[in-house]
Structure 1
């Protein structure tokens, strides 16, 4: 049986140089509240503490959680298909993004990277 918020999604964004503060403001003012309106749990988001020296641009992250992969698909479809996102906010946010990566992991009581005492390995 799946536990609550059993799917964790980590997104990292490479933003055009000099746009991170604007992106953060747009994300916190519009994107995060809109995601929450569509039932998406935003765990955290913000500027990366480290920018990769060999990659141009500035880093940003978004961590979200869902009860299942099916829920993730349904809530993303509702969010990305909404008029508020498509007609009001999408273009302003996307224009600041140079590239992005998404990682989706399933969480459970049986995590491969745990030690004998069931603590996450540092």
Structure 2
């Protein structure tokens, strides 16, 4: 079983063209920090909405990895401002899924 975080982003109007390159710059940093990025992409029903799905072994691991990453100079001095400036709002949802379901998400939701 994996703890899945589904983070959905609602962008400010007209920001999608700036948001995607900023996320593409951030994803290697996120992965290098040890987080398992399962999928990233644009919502199928809203042009200004995106999702990021990450997998963790536990809530403790999620907190530790995110605290370390979001507190790092690589994030703060890197793509943070470009990403945050595009956000109108975001929402995190956590749920437990079997490993097979996580792999199905990974296989069926390519990175934008």
- Per chain length, whose mean CA-contact separation is higher, i.e. which structure has more relative contact order (CA < 8 Å, sep 6+)? 2
Alignment of 1:74-113 (within 5 A): 74-108=64-98
CA displacement at 1:108 relative to structure 2: 4.5
TM-score by length of 2: 0.82
**Does the residue aligned with 2:45 lie in a helix, a strand or coil?**
coil
TM-score by length of 1: 0.76
Give the number of the structure whose residues are more often helix, by fraction: 2
CA deviations 1:71-115 (Å, max 9, x no partner) are: 101100111011011122211110000001100112259xxxxxx
Give yes or no for the alignment of 1:33 onto 2:28: yes
**Does the residue aligned with 1:50 lie in a helix, a strand or coil?**
coil
- Superposed structure 1 runs of 4+ greater than 6 Å apart: none
CA contact (8 A) 2:23 2:79 kept: no
- Number of equivalences: 99
Unaligned runs of 5+ residues in structure 2 are 100-112
The separation in 2 between residues aligned to 1:25 and 1:31, in whole angstroms, is 9
Q: Over aligned residues, Cα RMSD in angstroms?
A: 1.6
The separation in 1 between residues aligned to 2:98 and 2:28, in whole angstroms, is 28
